[in-house]
Amino acid sequence: MVDENELWILSFYRTSEISGALFFGRLARTMKPGEIQRDMTKHFSDESMHAWYWTACIEKLGAHALKLEQSYQDQYLAAAGLPVNIMEVLAITQVFEKRVIGQYSLHSSLPGLDPEIQATLRKIMQDEKWHIEWIRDALKGLESDYGKERVETTLKRFGEADLEVYRKTTDEHTERLQELINGGRRR
Ligand SMILES: [Fe+2]
Ligand SMILES: [Fe+2]
């Protein structure tokens, strides 16, 4: 049977993946023809699959996902402000995706992790790597429109917002993950 903290964390992942899918789905619909339109559509599709993978994983563990209100994305947008153009959207996403992959990789290193959770984390992390890559390339391509310096300043600004979000608002997630880590050591 799945541990209470674990169920909360997996449900939080699912909610965050749904928020990511909705965010990118809405954006993808507004993109003009081109590479960014293509990659953003794939990105949106990946995030919705991730939400399903977590739903299915929780089901295999004998539970149903909790209905949670908060997600990473809401916290990010609250701390960093709404991005005002496509370059800012990609910059905040780049910072955010790095944070997600960091959390997933930390989780996947927990001792005694259920194989179902491990397999789901591995599968999702493959896609998340590509997310970081395509956005990095797209941001490079946008340097001619926005200027290299402006892109770098924006990344730095969102990087700072990321640290703030991480310190303040992911507390519940971090605490629960920490409890899992401690629980793993006790076993
Ligand atoms: Fe994802
Ligand atoms: Fe992603």
Residue that the structure tokens 């790095």 belong to: 98
The answer to whether 68 and 15 have CB atoms below 8 angstroms apart is: yes
The rounded distance, in Å, linking the Cα atoms of 41 and 51 is 16
Q: For the chain, how are helix, strand and coil distributed in percent, rounded to 5?
A: 80, 0, 20
pTM beyond 0.85: the answer is yes
The answer to whether 8 and 174 have CB atoms below 8 angstroms apart is: no
Report CA(2)–ligand 1 centroid distance (Å). Answer: 22
Q: Candidates 3.30.1300.10, 3.50.50.60, 1.10.3720.10, 1.20.1260.10; correct CATH number of 4-186?
A: 1.20.1260.10
The rounded distance, in Å, linking the Cα atoms of 40 and 97 is 14
Per-residue pLDDT of the chain in tens (187 residues, 90 and over written 9):
788 889 999 999 999 999 899 989 999 999 999 999 999 999 999 999 999 999 999 999 999 999 988 777 777 777 777 889 999 999 999 998 998 898 899 899 988 899 999 999 999 999 999 999 999 999 999 999 999 999 999 999 999 888 887 776 556 777 787 787 777 554 4
What ranges do the domains of the chain cover?
A: 4-186
DSSP 8-state secondary structure symbol assigned to residue 69: S
Report CA(71)–ligand 2 centroid distance (Å). Answer: 14
Report CA(114)–ligand 2 centroid distance (Å). Answer: 22
Report CA(148)–ligand 1 centroid distance (Å). Answer: 28
Report CA(44)–ligand 2 centroid distance (Å). Answer: 8
